[in-house]
Structures are given as C-alpha cells and as structure tokens.
C-alpha cells in the first residue's frame, strides 16, 4: 500500500493569498519498510475535475517530496487552483492520486490594486482609540462563478458581507513593519454574495497602528488615522468580470467601541449599536463620506496563512472571593486571548472585568506586574434580553478575572476564555513517567501559545508585548518542535530585514518601534539596536528553519539581511572582539550584582562567542546555496574569531579565564573550546554547577544550552539532575509554585509567596522554555542532521536517565511523523520508533551494553555505542545498559 496525503503549498494547507510560484510538499504512507519515493507526478488545474490542467509535471524521477516547484508555473491573479499528486516508490509500487488540495492566488501584477484606503476618522482623531464602521451596498444581477475579496487595514479590522463575518481571522492584518510591509488577506466570498442587494461592512480599530505602544507609551507610531482597503474580484458564469472596491462611495460612522487598545482593553456601549448596519437596505443617510488616504500600494503583501485565530475555548473553572472581598474567576490556565461573556441586564448597567495573571501571597488579585496596562473590559448594556460580548480589537494575558461589576447572578456558565494565537499546526508531543516534566512540557507549549500572536512577543499582559529578538532566537528551536513555525518565523524575519539599520544593525525589537523615538531614561536610551544574542536572531532563526524544514528558500530570502549583520559586527570589532553600545549580556542571570539585570559573564565574551557562532552558521548557509566565495570568506572569518576567543579566554593550562557557568556553556555549545581542553572545560562547568549545589545561576544566554553543554560532553547524569531540581532556582520550582506557563524570572514568586519585582515580572514569558528542545533532542532522542536537513536523515539516540521509566516523543516533520518511545525495566531498554517514508535514520544507542533484539537493523559497536542505519518503518529494539 502506497498513498499520498497531507499536500501543502508553501507549508500551508489550502492557503489563500499565494503570489509566487509556490512550492509543494506531501507525505507518503506505506505498510512496507525502507520505502523511498522514486518518482512523482504533480498536476495543477483550474477545475476540481482536472478537465483543464494548467500544469502537469508528467512522471518525474526524483526522491524529493518536499520543496517541489512546478517549474514554469506562475498563478494568475485572483484565481483558484487545484492540486493533486501521485508517486512511485523504490519497490515499483504506484500510488493513486492524492485527495485534491487547492490554493487561492493573490493580486500578482503591478496595477492590480485599484482600491483606495478609506477612513471614517479625521486627523483630529489622532488621540482617539475608538472603533469606526464603514459600509457600502452593491446590487448583483448575474450568476456568480467566483468571488474573491482582498482586504486589509491601517489598524485592525473585521470584514462582513450581508451580516456575516468573513473568515476566522482575528487581530488582522497583524503587526508588521507597516511603513515597509502591510499584509492583506484573501478570502473566497463566493458563497456569501447573493443575487440582488448585498452589503459590505468593515469594523475598524486602532490596534498596533495608531494605539499607545511600547513601554515609552508612544501613540500614532505608524499613522494617526485608521483606514480600510477592500477590493473584490467577481467572475460571472457568462465570462464577464466586475470589480468592487473601497472608495468615496462608501459611508462611515463611529461604532459602539468607544475605546480599544492592545494594553488597556476595550470599552463598549451596546446603546450605540445600529442594528443591521452590515445588512442590505440599512438607512445610512446620517453616515458620512469617508476620507481617502494616500498610501503607497507597493507596501501591500499577501498573507497566505498563519493568521491569528480563536484556537480553543476554556470554561471558567472556579468563582471565589478573595480575602479582600473581590470576586474572582479562575480559568485554571494562564493564557492569551479574551473573555466571552453573557449578560441579561437593564439598559445602562455595566459589566467591568479586570484581567490578571496571579494571586499574591495572601490570595488577593495582583495587578502591579501589569505596570500601566489596564487589561480591562467595560460593557454597557442596552437591555432587550441576553447579550453576548467579547472584545474586538484588544487581547489580554490572564488566568484570573476580577469581576469589578456584573449585574445579576454570577454563573460560571456565563464566562469562557478564548485562547487566541497564530494558527500553526501542532507538530510535537512529549510525555514521560515524571509528571513534573510533563507539566513543564505543558507550560512550555502554553508559553508559545501565549506569545505567538502574529509576532513572537516577550509577554502578553503588561505594557510591552514586543517582538524582542533575543527571546525569539533562543526559543526558535523548541518552538519548531512543538508547532510548524516556518510561516510564522519567516514572516517575522522579513520584518527584521526591513527594519535593519542602513549599516546592518538589527533592532532589539521587531517590528522596531523604539528606534528614532525619544528615550529620556532607562536602558534603551543607550541604544535600540545590535545586541549580541538578540540581533543574532538574524542568523540563528533562518538557520533553525533550514535545519528543521530543509528549505533553502529561507536562506536565499534572508541572505542579504544575514550578511549585513555579520558585516556590521566585523565593522565594529577590534582585533576580533566586538561590542557595541547597549548589550544585554546574560540578561537577568542570578550571578548578577544585587539590583542589576546584567549577569556576571562579561559582555565582550558573549559578543565574541555569538560573533563566532553566527559567522560559522552564515558560512554554512552560503555554501548551501552555492555561494562559494562567501563560504570561503566567512569560514575564514569564523576560524579567526574562534582563535581570538580561545587566545583571550583560555589560559595556557586550559582553564577558562572567566569562571561563570554561562562562559563555559557558550564555549562548549558553540564549539569554541580547543579540542584538547573540551573535557577539562566540561568538568569546569560541572564544578561551577556543584558550587551552586547543582543549581543554575544563568540568564537568557546560558540557560538554553546548559543541559546540552553537559550531555554533549559526557555529563548526561548532571544534565538530568539540573533539569529535575525543584527548589529555587529551577524549572520545576515554578511548577511547584503552581505555574501553568514559563516565568520571566526564576523567582517570579518567591518561596514566601512575595513577588520578585513589579517592574519586570511576567508569568508568561517563554524564553526559559528553550530547555524544551532538550526534552525532544536528548530524552526522546530525535535529532536533526544538518547534512540532510528537514529530517530527510536524522538520528534517534535517546539518553536514558533521571530515574525515568519511560519517555515518548513525536515530531511531525515535512516527511511525516517521527516517534520514539522507550521503556526501562531494570537494566533493559525497549525502544520503539517510527521512521517516516522517504527518510532514513541513524540509530545510536550511546549507553547500550549489549543489543538483545535488533529488529533487522545491522548494529555495529563503536566508540560512541551501538550504531545502525535504517529506512522507513516501525521498529522495536531491545538492549541492556550498564
């Protein structure tokens, strides 16, 4: 049995908004072992019946089932295409055609955009964060064959046709470097239009575009008027076409959203509602003509997928009273999204809800860590029976809700929490015999859900919520196990490139809303770009995407950005050591001086370590796409920096001159240690760990790689012991304190229940969740091979320890699901694993004493244990350990 499933176009299922020659991938399934694709046939049609085929590859002899291009095919604007694939394998079996998939194209050509941005606001509304309505009625008298809408906004928007919301998008069009890139959304609206009268409506809010943003509380960063853009392409059955667009024939007015902002929440007065405003035959005579805004349409970019959506719904878990007498709803999980509630009250009565993350040591609501963010929803009732409400243009980070006002009897059934984040396929799972590690995996996953809302934010609750590059860099590998992050990160990396300085420097946050703003005091007054480990997201994130997905396109797309960042460091380096303005160093490490955020590891060591690491990765990527000149240049640069690092930070006796945990960790993980000193350096790290009674004192730079630095160098036992600590400071300490997400600080809540600091104390901050990739790569043993990226070939090598009796990991690669499951009974290990069709794997039993059952795999014993290579299939191997 051979069959094809899970066709994706540009990593997406049935995307809408393709504007290039897309790449295709599919997954093969077979009940045989050692199966590889021998050939494929890809067809593209404008009809689901495939009577009209616009592309036919014929039978192509090729093994690749991902990153496949339809050579010579380019979609036309505003069109729908259907796709199917069949394959042949190395056992001469032929599959049937796959189930049909499809994609919608965006607007491809210069001049396709004819619509204008329109606004129901004026320049006098610059300080307003109200909502506005825009509407237009159209009459259609022909039978429609297809209709596609292309929409976006300056601000946030919901689009309606005949009273029905179009699509499931939330917080659209998302947050980009608006002056350089504004995303538009593509929707198939064929089924929403009807013969006769039709109404088009849009509800617009301030959002990131003109609302108050950043800890500088700056308004109107991108503009001082919201706007809406709409262009609808209709093709009729008779072959004629019609274009409907936003222009001055629309009408606008204020909406019932009196105020809505990202940080502060929303104020909604139902008495301002205009029933039927987005339906045909509504009387809009009192509405005003919109203002036409002058916006360069060249910044418009199609968004094909990974849009923000309501992903799941959580019921209220408990309603209780605090010692202070406040009424609190507990949803049982720290999350990002919003509350949906029902209320039946008299006109003028209000519901007021204050969202927050944690209770203080006395069990009362704790708001101080929100800083100035209000996270408040205020709803004024209009009577007329039961109403249901949720915010339109704001999101909150919360577990708890204080009921400041609610008319009537409170019931858990009247409240639910909507979990909102970018729509990404879940690709990884991890489970083991230790319930605390399972909770850690849960917390890491929910940290991702809470902070991957269009951009990778640092936190979702306080007056910040920015795309800090350092957080995104250290968590990228872990995130890419848990979910398919290719589209999410590649979109963000385009904004990183767009916001780089002319010299190649990379801002601390992307999109960059700090540079060029008045910074009267604080750290940012020292500089808003180019910090080691933060700016290296320009290199490490593309490398990670290439490693995980095997796609060279991300290298080609980001190449100029990457090269500019390496050259920036080189320009500012002196004798191979570089540093520049504000450096965060080993941010919030516990070996910092009292009252400081900066760890004890010198900035110059961290800067130079990342300079070496990034230049080495860039050289590899240059080689990957065939740029041999750059490969040679930057490989030599890398080698020179490594030499400088070794000469500066190692003594003649082979000791590191900087005696911090982080110095040893980055030297080991980035391969900066002279070969003859690796064992000594690893032992030095263990001694520093022992000095802290087995605890870490690392910050953002050292923590992600700590366990790897140990396990890669013969100290897996110590890595497990570090991971399983449950007293302060440790990952499991947070769990013992009731955490359901990852904290920003190891002691966000202290042993006595008091808080670390209100200034910077998020309880949903994914950075330290970067340890998650150790669960997958080491405990489950699923490791990529950079020589055959995308898990075309990979290693299965679980390392047993931590008194675990079993562990299971799964990861859905571009070729299919990889699974490992090991059980330990005394000194015997049973290892079950799955290798997807069209891939191979090396099975490395590094701690095996003897292989009892090999299940057809030819193992050989070497210096690193028993090793064998095999192809696809399900296997069971049994071996003993000493």
Query: What average pLDDT does range 90-106 have in this prediction?
Result: 98
Residues 541, 665 within the same domain? yes
Residue 85's nearest CA partner among 19, 41, 38 is: 41
Residue labelled with tokens 């009974």: 825
Kindly state whether residue 124 falls inside one of the protein's structural domains: yes
Lowest-confidence region among 30-39, 586-595, 718-727, 799-808: 586-595
Kindly state whether residue 512 falls inside one of the protein's structural domains: no
Phi-psi region of 178 (alpha: psi -120 to 50; beta: other; left: phi over 0): alpha
Q: What domain range is 280 assigned to?
A: 117-258+274-305
* DSSP per position, 785-848: -TTSTTTTEEEE-----TT-SEEEEEEEETTEEEEEEEEEETTEEEEEEEE-TT-EEEEEETTE
Residue labelled with tokens 């923590």: 703
Instruction: Give the Cα separation of 734 and 739 in Å (integer).
Output: 5
Query: What average pLDDT does range 543-561 have in this prediction?
Result: 98
**How far does CA 770 lie from the centroid of its chain?**
13
Long-range contacts of 456-460 (CB under 8 A, 24+ apart): 456/488, 456/489, 456/492, 458/744, 458/762, 458/765, 458/767, 459/397, 459/744, 459/762, 459/764, 459/765, 460/336, 460/395, 460/396, 460/397, 460/764
Instruction: Give the Cα separation of 721 and 689 in Å (integer).
Output: 11
Residues 685, 755 within the same domain? yes
Q: How far is CA 87 from CA 187, 398, 880, in A?
A: 31, 48, 40
Mapped onto helix, strand or coil, the DSSP state of residue 17 is strand
- Measured N-to-C along each axis, helices 469-482 and 435-451 cross at an angle, to the nearest 10 degrees, of 120
Residue labelled with tokens 């190449």: 559
Q: Which two tokens stand for residue 501?
A: 């300085």
Residues 34, 92 within the same domain? yes
Instruction: Give the Cα separation of 58 and 39 in Å (integer).
Output: 10
Residues 356, 337 within the same domain? yes
Q: Which of 714, 744, 770 is the last residue of a domain?
A: 770
Kindly state whether residue 832 falls inside one of the protein's structural domains: yes
> What is the band of 516 on the pLDDT scale with cuts at 50, 70, 90?
confident
Residue 861's nearest CA partner among 841, 845, 881 is: 845
List CB contacts of 262: < 8 A, sequence separation 6 or more.
Answer: 207, 208, 211, 212, 213, 394, 395, 465
Instruction: Give the Cα separation of 860 and 13 in Å (integer).
Output: 42
The yes-or-no verdict on residue 522 having pLDDT over 90 is: no
CB 595 within 8 A of CB 530: no
**What are 165-222's pLDDT values in tens digits?**
999 999 999 999 999 999 999 999 999 999 999 999 999 999 999 999 998 899 999 9
Instruction: Give the Cα separation of 213 and 797 in Å (integer).
Output: 46
Q: Give the CATH number, domain containing residue 874.
A: 2.60.420.10
CB 831 within 8 A of CB 857: no
> What is the band of 66 on the pLDDT scale with cuts at 50, 70, 90?
very high
Q: In what order do the strands lie in the sheet with 53-56?
A: 16-18, 101-105, 80-89, 37-45, 53-56
Report the catalytic residues.
Answer: 464, 744
CB 621 within 8 A of CB 635: no
The yes-or-no verdict on residue 420 having pLDDT over 80 is: yes
Quote the pLDDT of residue 524. Answer: 79
Q: Which two tokens stand for residue 866?
A: 């028993």
Q: Which two tokens stand for residue 258?
A: 């009196």
Work out the end-to-end distance of the chain between its first and last CA atoms, rounded to an integer number of angstroms. Answer: 41
Give the whole-number percent of the chain exceeding pLDDT 70. 99
**Number of domains composing the chain:** 5
Query: What average pLDDT does range 494-499 have in this prediction?
Result: 98
> What is the band of 646 on the pLDDT scale with cuts at 50, 70, 90?
very high
Q: Give the CATH number, domain containing residue 64.
A: 2.60.40.10
**What are 609-643's pLDDT values in tens digits?**
999 999 999 999 999 999 999 999 999 999 999 99
**β-pair type (80-89, 37-45):** antiparallel
> What is the band of 526 on the pLDDT scale with cuts at 50, 70, 90?
confident
CB 159 within 8 A of CB 202: yes
Residues 793, 758 within the same domain? no
The yes-or-no verdict on residue 232 having pLDDT over 60 is: yes
Instruction: Give the Cα separation of 321 and 112 in Å (integer).
Output: 58
Kindly state whether residue 519 falls inside one of the protein's structural domains: no
The yes-or-no verdict on residue 538 having pLDDT over 90 is: yes
Residue 663's nearest CA partner among 569, 599, 735, 712 is: 599
* DSSP per position, 683-701: HHHHHHHHHTTT-----TT
The yes-or-no verdict on residue 521 having pLDDT over 60 is: no
Residues 357, 418 within the same domain? yes
* β strands within 451-496, DSSP E: 452-453, 455-456
Mapped onto helix, strand or coil, the DSSP state of residue 453 is strand
> What is the band of 594 on the pLDDT scale with cuts at 50, 70, 90?
confident
Higher pLDDT: 17 or 758? It is 17
Residues 98, 15 within the same domain? yes
Residues 731, 653 within the same domain? yes
CB 541 within 8 A of CB 493: yes
Kindly state whether residue 264 falls inside one of the protein's structural domains: no
- Measured N-to-C along each axis, helices 537-549 and 469-482 cross at an angle, to the nearest 10 degrees, of 10
Kindly state whether residue 514 falls inside one of the protein's structural domains: no
Mapped onto helix, strand or coil, the DSSP state of residue 474 is helix
Q: Give the CATH number, domain containing residue 581.
A: 1.50.10.10
Instruction: Give the Cα separation of 857 and 701 in Å (integer).
Output: 40
Residues 605, 457 within the same domain? yes
CB 574 within 8 A of CB 560: no
Instruction: Give the Cα separation of 230 and 117 in Å (integer).
Output: 8
**What are 438-478's pLDDT values in tens digits?**
999 999 999 999 999 999 999 999 999 999 999 999 999 99
Within a 10 A sphere around the Cβ of 596, how many other Cβ atoms? 11
Mapped onto helix, strand or coil, the DSSP state of residue 297 is helix
Residues 680, 702 within the same domain? yes
Residues 301, 313 within the same domain? no
Average pLDDT over the chain reads 97
Residue 780's nearest CA partner among 334, 548, 386, 433 is: 433
Residues 54, 99 within the same domain? yes
- Report CA torsion sign: 283, 289, 290, 294: positive
CB 347 within 8 A of CB 382: yes
Quote the pLDDT of residue 520. Answer: 59
Instruction: Give the Cα separation of 255 and 421 in Å (integer).
Output: 25
Q: Which of 391, 422, 453 is the last residue of a domain?
A: 422
Kindly state whether residue 505 falls inside one of the protein's structural domains: no
Quote the pLDDT of residue 595. Answer: 82
The yes-or-no verdict on residue 243 having pLDDT over 80 is: yes
The yes-or-no verdict on residue 245 having pLDDT over 60 is: yes
The yes-or-no verdict on residue 310 having pLDDT over 90 is: yes
Residue 499's nearest CA partner among 476, 525, 466 is: 466
Preceding amide of 550 cis, omega within 30: no
Within a 10 A sphere around the Cβ of 60, how many other Cβ atoms? 14
The yes-or-no verdict on residue 519 having pLDDT over 70 is: no
Phi-psi region of 384 (alpha: psi -120 to 50; beta: other; left: phi over 0): left
Query: What average pLDDT does range 534-540 have in this prediction?
Result: 98
Within a 10 A sphere around the Cβ of 168, how many other Cβ atoms? 12
Kindly state whether residue 854 falls inside one of the protein's structural domains: yes
Q: Which two tokens stand for residue 469?
A: 């590059």
Long-range contacts of 444-447 (CB under 8 A, 24+ apart): 444/478, 444/482, 444/742, 444/766, 444/769, 444/771, 444/772, 445/482, 446/333, 446/334, 446/335, 446/740, 446/741, 446/764, 447/741, 447/742, 447/764, 447/765, 447/766, 447/769
Query: What average pLDDT does range 215-240 have in this prediction?
Result: 96
**What are 767-797's pLDDT values in tens digits?**
999 999 999 999 999 999 999 999 999 999 9
Residue 648's nearest CA partner among 576, 697, 550 is: 576
Instruction: Give the Cα separation of 512 and 499 in Å (integer).
Output: 6
Q: Which of 749, 770, 791 is the last residue of a domain?
A: 770
> What is the band of 517 on the pLDDT scale with cuts at 50, 70, 90?
confident
Three-point CA angle 89, 95, 100, nearest 5°: 130
């Amino acid at each position: 049995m051979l069959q094809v499933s899970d066709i994706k176009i540009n990593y997406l299922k049935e995307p809408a908004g393709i504007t290039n020659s897309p790449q295709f991938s599919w997954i093969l399934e077979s009940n045989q072992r050692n199966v590889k694709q021998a050939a494929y046939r890809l067809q593209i049609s404008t009809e689901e019946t495939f009577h009209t085929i616009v592309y036919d590859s014929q039978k192509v002899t090729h093994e690749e089932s991902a990153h496949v291009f339809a050579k010579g095919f380019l979609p036309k604007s505003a069109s729908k295409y259907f796709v199917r694939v069949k394959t042949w394998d190395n056992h001469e079996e032929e599959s049937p055609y796959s189930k049909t998939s499809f994609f919608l194209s965006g607007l491809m050509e210069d001049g396709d955009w004819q619509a204008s941005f329109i606004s129901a606001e004026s320049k006098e509304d610059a300080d307003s964060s109200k909502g506005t309505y825009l509407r237009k009625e159209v009459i259609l008298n022909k039978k429609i064959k297809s209709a596609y809408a292309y929409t976006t906004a300056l601000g946030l928007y919901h689009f309606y046709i005949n009273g029905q919301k179009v699509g499931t998008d939330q917080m659209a069009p998302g947050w980009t470097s608006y002056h350089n890139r504004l995303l538009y959304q593509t929707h198939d609206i064929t089924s929403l239009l009807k013969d006769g009268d039709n109404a088009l409506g849009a509800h617009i809010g301030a959002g990131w575009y003109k609302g108050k943003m950043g800890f500088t509380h700056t308004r109107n960063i991108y503009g001082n008027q919201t706007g809406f853009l709409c262009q609808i392409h209709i093709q009729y059955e008779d072959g004629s076409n019609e274009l409907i667009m936003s222009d001055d024939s629309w009408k606008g007015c204020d909406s019932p959203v009196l105020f809505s902002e990202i940080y502060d929440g929303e104020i909604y007065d139902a008495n301002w509602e205009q029933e039927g405003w987005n339906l045909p035959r509504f009387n809009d005579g009192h509405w005003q003509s919109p203002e036409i805004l002058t916006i360069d349409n060249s910044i418009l970019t199609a968004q094909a997928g990974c849009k923000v959506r309501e992903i799941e719904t959580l019921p209220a878990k408990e309603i209780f009273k605090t010692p202070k007498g406040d009424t609190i709803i507990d949803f049982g999980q720290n999350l990002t999204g919003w509350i949906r509630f029902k209320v039946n009250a008299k006109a003028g009565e209000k519901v007021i809800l204050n969202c927050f993350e944690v209770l203080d040591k006395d069990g009362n609501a704790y708001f101080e860590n929100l800083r100035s963010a209000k996270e408040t929803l205020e709803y004024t009732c209009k009577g007329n029976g039961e109403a249901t409400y949720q915010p339109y243009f704001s999101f909150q980070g919360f577990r708890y809700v204080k009921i400041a006002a609610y008319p009537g009897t409170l019931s858990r059934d009247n409240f639910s929490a909507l979990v909102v984040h970018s729509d990404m396929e879940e690709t990884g799972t991890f489970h083991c015999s230790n319930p605390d590690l399972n909770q850690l995996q849960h917390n890491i996953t929910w940290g991702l859900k809470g902070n991957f809302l269009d951009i990778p934010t640092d936190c979702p609750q306080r007056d910040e919520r920015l795309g800090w590059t350092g957080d995104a860099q250290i968590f990228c590998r872990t995130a890419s196990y848990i979910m398919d992050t290719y589209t999410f990160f590649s979109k963000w990396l385009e904004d990183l490139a767009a916001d780089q300085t002319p010299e190649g420097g990379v801002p601390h946050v992307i999109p960059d809303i700090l540079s060029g703003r008045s910074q009267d005091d604080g750290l940012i007054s020292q500089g808003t770009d180019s910090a080691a480990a933060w700016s290296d997201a320009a290199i490490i994130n593309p490398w990670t995407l290439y490693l995980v997905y095997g796609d060279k396109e991300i290298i080609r797309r980001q190449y100029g950005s990457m090269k500019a960042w390496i050259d920036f460091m080189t320009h500012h380096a002196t004798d191979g050591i570089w540093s520049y303005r504000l450096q965060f160093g080993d941010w919030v490490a516990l070996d910092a001086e009292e009252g400081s955020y900066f760890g004890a590891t010198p900035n110059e060591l961290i800067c130079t370590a990342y300079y070496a690491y990034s230049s080495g990765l860039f050289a590899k990527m240059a080689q990957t796409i065939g740029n041999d000149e750059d490969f040679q240049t930057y490989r030599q640069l890398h080698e020179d920096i490594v030499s400088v690092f070794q000469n500066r930070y190692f003594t003649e006796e082979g000791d590191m001159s900087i005696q911090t945990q982080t110095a040893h960790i980055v030297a080991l993980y980035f391969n900066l240690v002279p070969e003859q000193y690796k064992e000594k350096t690893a032992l030095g790290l263990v001694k520093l760990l022992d000095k802290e009674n087995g605890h870490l004192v690392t910050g953002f730079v050292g923590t992600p790689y700590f366990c790897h630095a140990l396990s890669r160098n013969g100290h897996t036992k110590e890595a497990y012991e570090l991971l399983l600590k449950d007293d302060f400071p440790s990952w499991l300490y947070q769990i013992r304190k009731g955490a359901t997400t990852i904290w920003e600080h190891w002691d966000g809540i202290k042993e006595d229940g008091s808080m670390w600091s209100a200034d910077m104390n998020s309880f949903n901050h994914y950075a330290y969740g970067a340890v998650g990739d150790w669960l997958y790569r080491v405990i489950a043993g699923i490791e990529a091979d950079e020589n055959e990226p995308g898990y075309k070939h990979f290693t299965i090598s679980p390392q047993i320890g931590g008194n675990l009796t079993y562990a299971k990991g799964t990861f859905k690669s571009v070729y299919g699901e990889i699974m490992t499951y090991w059980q330990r009974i005394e000194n015997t290990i049973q290892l079950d694993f799955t290798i997807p069709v069209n891939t191979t794997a090396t099975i490395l039993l590094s701690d095996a004493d003897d292989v009892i059952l090999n299940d057809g795999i030819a193992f050989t014993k070497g210096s690193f244990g028993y090793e064998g290579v095999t192809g696809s299939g399900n296997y069971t191997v049994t071996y003993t350990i000493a």
